[in-house]
């Protein structure tokens, strides 16, 4: 189903504007910089959603990192998840290295858990998760938490700043939620 920005915005509420999102990312970067001081972590962005957040976060970090990405998805261009598909695994050497997983949202966490577990299986010394948003509900995979959280969002369909609606509206500069 095709949507225009205008249609999506008319059917949604703005939760956070661009300034609020970027201020949250700046706060996260400060904490991450302290936690990874003196290390050379693999900065592993989950595509496609983590791209905007990851780029902004990386620019604010102030530490050297090795960039790579993973493309794993449960959505395949839809709004409901299914089985996990690995479209690309990272090429960076993970063994003996700290890893920072960077994603747009921690919702139920199935994809993040699979990627975190894979990094641990590859011999990462530690794996930390930076999530721009965390959805407020009780359906998250047990034991999975984000180490760095930018903003919390309600248990509604959210989009913008990397998050999509059927592959549309990722490039909206704020975070929006569909009206109930």
Residue linked to tokens 């990722």: 170
Taking the mean position of all CA atoms in its chain, how far away is CA 102?
5
**Annotated catalytic residue 107:** yes
Tell me how far apart the alpha carbons of residues 69 and 9 are, in angstroms, rounded to a whole number.
Answer: 30
| Catalytic-role residue among 103, 107, 138, 147 | 107
Q: Give, in order, the Cα–Cα distances in Å from 169 to each of 6, 36, 104, 172.
A: 10, 33, 14, 6
Do the strands 148-153 and 42-46 form a parallel or antiparallel pair, or are they unpaired?
unpaired
Catalytic residues: 107
């Amino acid at each position: 189903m095709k949507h225009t920005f205008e249609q999506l915005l008319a059917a949604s509420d703005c939760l956070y504007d661009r300034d609020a999102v970027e201020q949250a990312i700046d706060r996260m970067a400060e904490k991450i910089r302290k936690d990874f001081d003196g290390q050379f972590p693999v900065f592993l962005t989950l595509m496609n959603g983590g791209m905007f957040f990851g780029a902004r976060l990386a620019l604010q970090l102030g530490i050297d990192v090795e960039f790579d990405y993973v493309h794993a998805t449960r959505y395949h261009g839809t709004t409901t998840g299914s089985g996990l598909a690995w479209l690309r695994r990272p090429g960076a050497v993970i063994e003996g290295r700290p890893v920072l997983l960077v994603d747009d949202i921690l919702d139920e966490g199935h994809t993040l858990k699979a990627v975190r577990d894979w990094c641990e299986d590859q011999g990462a010394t530690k794996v930390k998760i930076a999530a721009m948003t965390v959805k407020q509900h009780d359906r998250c995979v047990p034991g999975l938490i984000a180490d760095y959280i930018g903003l919390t969002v309600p248990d509604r369909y959210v989009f913008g700043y990397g998050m999509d609606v059927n592959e549309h509206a990722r490039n909206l500069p704020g975070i929006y939620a569909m009206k109930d």
